[in-house]
Structure 1
Amino acid sequence: MNLVEDFYDNKYDEWSRLDRHRIEFEITKKYLDKFIVGDNLDIFDIGGGPGRYSFYLSDKGHNVTLLDLSQHNIDIAKEKSKELNTNLAGYIKGDALELDEHNKKYDVVLLMGPLYHLVNKADRRKALKGAVNLLKDGGIIVASFISNYAPIQDNFAYLKFDNGEDDVRELLGYIESGVNNVESGFTTAYFSSSEEALKLMEEYNLKQLAFAGVENILGCRERDILLLPEEDIQKWIRVGFALGEDKKLLGASQHYLYIGRK
């Protein structure tokens, strides 16, 4: 976790990532809009980085508390709150593995980051158990996973090979192990298959409301799509959202999104 914390504190601009990957951002927001229903809900955004989704939900009138491992991300969130004139209910530097320190119950819990930075399955289970325990009965949990096809999708989008013959072996290795090391340019991470992600969520007696491949067919053409006129961008986002839960297309996505009810 120290490596992950250092990565977001010193090496990565998480706020701007969702500008570069706007398809992920826009389609995820559509799922939040579909399933987070009600007024003035209490929402806990665990591992929410600098708060892009926190601010989005706060603007809709919800009471959102942001927790992140990175102090830098928390500081950015506080700065952005002034720019956006949207203040969150709380800004907490904290660890998704230490959720038993929090006693309040929430209508919605977002866990859209920690599960793909926890390499050990026991840690993923601990984070999930803590998140579910913080939900009110009937509450909604939204959890994100990075697909084990994501490195292949990313390299394909940029037609990128850097290390000769080692590239193929490395990319295909993610399908088997799911483990990413810091030498790859990204931080410590775990990439899941869709089957593994669903099996993990099934352990917590949740009612599955949706399981989606976020980018699906749009991912490898994202750079081209974002150069289009705004009207056309929105058309493609509508197509991607419509295809998100098509099981035949799950492997085309870099991110999986699970939504369930306690």
Structure 2
Amino acid sequence: MVELDPLIRAFYRDRYVEDDRLARSGHGRLEFLRTQELLRRWLPPKSVVLDVGGATGAHARWLASDGHHVTLVDPVVEHVQQATTIGTFEAVVGDARHLDQPDASVDVTLLLGPLYHLVEAADRAQALSEAARVTRPGGLVVAAGINRYAGLLEYGSSGALTETNEREFIEAFETGRNHDDPNGFTNAYFHHADELTAEFAAVGLADIETLGVEGPAITVLHFATPEEADTLLPSAIRLARRLEADPRLISASFHFLARGTVGQ
């Protein structure tokens, strides 16, 4: 039984077009290309991959094209219906906290969205534990987190930060929680990089690495036109790659990507 927050379900069903999120803007393209780069660096060839929270298949598409055997799991029925039309991977409705897959049945489990919307620490821990359970010993769990400073970086870089709305970031800084905004994002949890690392360690994952995805140029790409993005992307990717593990600059990214190994 998938128990999805009704506000989150309404956000993805009625207010947000998920299918082209990583293609329609410069910052989305930067996030996509860097996530793809990191996954290609980490994943063994021809892996059995479980893409939990894979939405309409933005990453499942290219993973399948790369030769991986991919099963996508998502709680939003409409996402799964759209993903099934692609035909190169399996797509099923499911909940990151209660996966139907057997123990040690996949090589890699991806959580490239679920930790955003599991605002309770216990739910995030359960999702990571489930990912570790279904992944074979020595296999990888990879999860994305939204940087707790992402909203402030976006507003401050756009000229939209004011004395009034600056105060609205205080709760997010203190608690990590974002509340549903009819004109913005929905209920979510925002991480510090070391916090995401600690959540991996708490469920017994080893050899943990947490990197910044987009790098400091994300704020420039966020407001670039499509034509400007074409020019800016190669340099932005090179910059992100250079600084991805620098603890002094990792929080310049809007997103983090963490990986951990399941114990033998």
> Displacement of 1:229 after TM fit?
7.3
CA distance in 2, matches of 1:151, 1:102: 35
1:83-134 Cα shifts (integer Å, max 9, x gaps): xxx510x1111111212x3216100100111111011111111111111101
The residue that corresponds to 2:18 in the other structure is 14
CA distance in 2, matches of 1:56, 1:242: 24
Alignment of 1:196-207 (within 5 A): 196-207=195-206
> Contact 1:225 / 1:233 at 8 angstroms: preserved in 2?
no
> Displacement of 1:226 after TM fit?
5.1
Percent identity between matched residues is: 31
Unaligned runs of 5+ in 2: none
1:250 corresponds to 2:254: no
Unaligned runs of 5+ in 1: none
Which amino acid is 2:215 matched to? N
> How many corresponding residue pairs?
252
1:68 corresponds to 2:81: no
1:122-176 Cα shifts (integer Å, max 9, x gaps): 1111111111101001111110111110111221233224xx6430111233111
The root-mean-square deviation of aligned C-alpha atoms, in Å, is: 1.8
TM (norm. structure 2) is: 0.89
CA distance in 1, matches of 2:244, 2:32: 13
Which amino acid is 1:76 matched to? Q
CA distance in 1, matches of 2:52, 2:205: 18
1:31 corresponds to 2:35: no
Which amino acid is 2:7 matched to? L
Equivalent of 1:181 in 179, 188, 206: 179
Alignment of 1:1-262 (within 5 A): 1-19=5-23, 20=25, 21-39=28-46, 41-79=47-85, 81=86, 87-88=88-89, 90-99=90-99, 101-103=100-102, 105-161=105-161, 165-183=163-181, 185-222=184-221, 223-224=223-224, 227-228=227-228, 230=230, 233-262=233-262
Return 239-248 or 135-144, whichever deviates more.
Answer: 239-248
> Contact 2:213 / 2:254 at 8 angstroms: preserved in 1?
yes
CA distance in 2, matches of 1:227, 1:239: 20
Return 249-258 or 220-229, whichever deviates more.
Answer: 220-229
> Displacement of 1:242 after TM fit?
2.2
